[in-house]
Structure 1
Amino acid sequence: MGQEPESVPRQSGTAGQVCWQTFMTQSRMTMRASVEADRASLFKSENAIKVCLFVIDAGAGHRATANAIREYLPEDQDVELVFANPYKDVLSRGSWFERIVANHSEAHYNFLLKHSRLPQFAWRVMSWLPLVFRTIRGKAISRLFQAFYAEAKPDLVICVLPFIGIDVIEEAERAGLPNMMVVTDHSETYRNSWIPASGTHLVAFSERGYHQGKDRAITHVTRISGPVLRRAFFRRSPDHAAALKRRLGLFPDAKTVLVFYGGNGSPKMIRIAQALEQLSEPLNVIFVCGHNKALKQELAAVEMGYQKRVFGFVRNIGLLMELSDVMIGKPGPGSAFEAVAKGVRTVLEVNAGTMPHELDNARMIAEEFDGASFCKEADMLSAIDAAPRRQQHEAGSEPPFRSDLEFSKVFNKFLDEAKG
């Protein structure tokens, strides 16, 4: 018998083992090829300041912050900013263990958020997993990030993530890359869940988050007056909002309530819709269900005694906020502070199911921005009753915080250091 061609490796074992070996070999070869292609094409410009911003889609808040940061790029500087996902772009190049984490973490978290009436349960289930993963696979994670930075060659690294975000920043620090952690939550709930041990810059919007950063080996720690939001939330367009209200067919003289529980909505919105029928005054109610199509269909099908409009995912949520007098929602740092910036009286649900890292947002909004919180439906209805119509408390007012101006200064300084 003739010899086998050299291009076909000899394999041993059962047919099943051979198939598995072939599958794994091909998977590794395909993954290596895609990794090299992805890293080679991460940045397009040779001369621009190359900024790598790490973001994931577990919930909608991280992506919203990343999109906001993109708006603060200075027009007079040549800066190329690209988004990277630490799971899909970094950990997916590791062993089968890292690939499982990379491929399933975001989807499972979003599933629990979308379908659970107790989002705190989803957060507690999913938050301890990254801590365990980082503990047992720390060396592998470090190696993968160092390889990513060596091949992508960013000039600056920005992160808007907890948990894996600590590795993003600390590994950038080890690689000698200037870095910035933008803390999108009020503060760190558990040590080593948000604030890295070392870094170049950290931006926090609460006093506690600021002091947590000062306690670590971080060179520059800055406090701004609110989360980093898109610039549009700091602008008022009353004429545009009034025209939209007419176009939606809402009662012109009735109080308008916006019910918005973030990018994935919440099953609680059904109960809130029913409770609002107890109010005797004429009412407009706008429900925004985000990506939760089933929730949108259910709310649209229910007949209510008030004027109702139901939306799915809305890109320009700021306009709906601006035509509203009250917003009911969860104390997430995105939607809650967006409403505050737009001048909406914010009524936030706080109970045993509230995610731990969101509780302090409700306290901050109540203490500093005249917000309210509720646990029982009766408290929610009382807060809506007590809220004045928008024109009674907004005439000539400015946004209650200006994190847009503050972050712009910090970001420009960060870029200037990279040029220098």
Structure 2
Amino acid sequence: MRIVILSATTGGGHNVRAHALIEWIHTLNIGQATLWLPLEESHPLYRFGVRLYNGIQRQAPFLHHGYFLFLEIAGLFKTATRVGGKKTFFARLESEKPDVLVSVHGSTNHAFMDLARQVLHRRVRCVTYCGELSGGYGFSRHWVNPANDWFLCPVEETAQAARQLGMPEKKVKKVGFLLRPSFYLPQLSESERARGRLKLGLGEDRFTLLLATGFNAAQRHLVFLEALARARLPIQAIVLCGKDVLLKRRIEQWARTHEELPVVPLGFVREMAWLLQLADAVLTRPGAGTCSEAIQCGTPLLLARWGGWMPQELLNVRFCLNHGIGEPVGSARELVERVIRWIETPELVRSVRQRMEQVRPRESPPTWIQELLLP
């Protein structure tokens, strides 16, 4: 069984889901799975578009509204006849002859599926997994391809959005989050959380804030740490720096001169399940990937909005606010205010965790991967 996952390096959540699916397929031993990036691999113009997307996301998220609307109207990847650089994609199809194609990105959900059917003479099963958490503005119509065999999604709000855009009811299936296997292990007990904090060099019982990265979140880590230190709050922080070695060094240097606020800076982290469970709250851009991970782990969300929210982020913000599992944060002052309120009123944090438990999908990947992907 050869399974190919189609994605793109726009943002980070798509590839997180792609690699999670690859890991599950390997764990379940049901076939060989590979990741293809047809946009970047097929045409220089598409590679430029991906770089432009990511540049906007880092520097000026609010500009993504124009980018999003352009892609919605232009439909660059709607039909096979409009796609450039087909030869590379054709060659890979002919060489590997996949049995199943799974698109985890809206832009790989139409034309590339049609090309696969042409080359493989419709012997290939075509599946969409959409990780968005709600519909409405920000939900791309390109996610919906009625010709595909399945439209899979994490929550009912996403399923409803797909139906409204014309996906046949019988092909829509709510299957829960697509996360790495570690997110489906038994959750840490209070004693295990305490030991985990000690392992990182932090206090057992102090309020712990996780500062996540996202595409531009790390730019403000020091701003937030300065504000938290000035407020003299009884907290500690785990700070994710990704692959930014310089940022990690700067935070290490900052931490040495601010011992009143214990800080543990970390580089690239592959597994988030353990860290999220050590935290009392996570500050993050509201991407579908991190929001899904936080919900699965029961970690209350502080939704960073500096630079504005992108259309696709609004979907996750809408879900979190509707279910009362996250609060927006637009400045260092607002972060301090939220943290003070949660420290002084611990029952608020407990109520958020209870609501997260209520909205967390009960489905897990092993069931649907074996039922729906295998021809």
Give TM class, smaller chain: 0.7 to 0.9
Within the candidate set 180, 183, 193, 2:130 is matched to 183
Letter of the aligned partner of 2:179 in structure 1? L
Q: Following TM superposition, by how much is the alpha carbon of 1:183 offset from its aligned partner in structure 2, in angstroms?
A: 0.7
Letter in 2 for 1:222: K
Q: Contact 2:102 / 2:128 at 8 angstroms: preserved in 1? A: yes
Structure 2 residues not aligned, in runs of 5+: none
Which residue pairs with 2:296 in the alignment? 341
Q: Give the structure-1-normalised TM-score.
A: 0.73
> CA separation in 1, counterparts of 2:244 and 2:183?
24
1:294 and 2:243 are equivalent in the alignment: no
> Judging changes above 3 Å, is the alpha-carbon distance between structure 1 residues 74 and 315 closer, same or farther for their aligned structure 2 residues?
closer
How far residue 399 of structure 1 moved from its aligned partner, in angstroms, is: 4.9
* Equivalent position of 2:315 in the other structure: 360
Name the CA distance, whole Å, in 2 between partners of 1:196 and 1:159: 11
Q: Over alpha carbons, which structure has the higher Rg?
A: 1
Against the structure 1 CA distance between its residues 345 and 212, is the aligned structure 2 distance closer, same or farther, given a 3 Å change threshold?
Answer: closer
- CA deviations 1:175-203 (Å, max 9, x no partner) are 52211111122356265442225311111
1:57-206 correspondence to structure 2 within 5 Å: 57-73=9-25, 78-89=30-41, 91=42, 98=43, 100-114=44-58, 116=59, 118-121=60-63, 124-125=66-67, 128=70, 131=74, 133-134=76-77, 138-141=81-84, 143-144=86-87, 145=89, 148-173=92-117, 175-176=121-122, 177-187=124-134, 189=138, 191-206=140-155
Q: Secondary structure at the match of 1:199?
A: coil
Of the three residues 323, 333, 340, the one matched with 1:378 is 333
Structure-2 separation of matches of 1:172 and 1:107: 26
The total of aligned residue pairs comes to 357
Mapped pair 1:313 → 2:268:
yes
TM-score by length of structure 2 reads: 0.81
Q: Indicate the larger mover: 62-71 or 264-273.
A: 264-273
TM-superposed deviation, 1:261: 2.7
Counterparts in 2 of 1:80 and 1:137: CA distance versus 1, 3 Å: closer
Q: CA RMSD in A?
A: 3.4
Give the corresponding residue for 2:158: 209
**The residue matched to 2:128 in structure 1 has which SS?**
strand
Pick from 180, 193, 201 the counterpart of residue 230 of structure 1: 180
Could you say which structure has the greater relative contact order, defined with CA pairs below 8 angstroms and 6 or more residues apart?
2
The change in CA–CA distance for 1:112 and 1:313 in structure 2 (over 3 A counts) is farther
| Identity %, equivalent residues | 19
Give the drift of 1:126: 7.9
- Tell me the CA shift for residue 223 of structure 1: 2.1
Q: What displacement does 1:284 show?
A: 0.4
| SS of aligned partner of 1:212 | helix
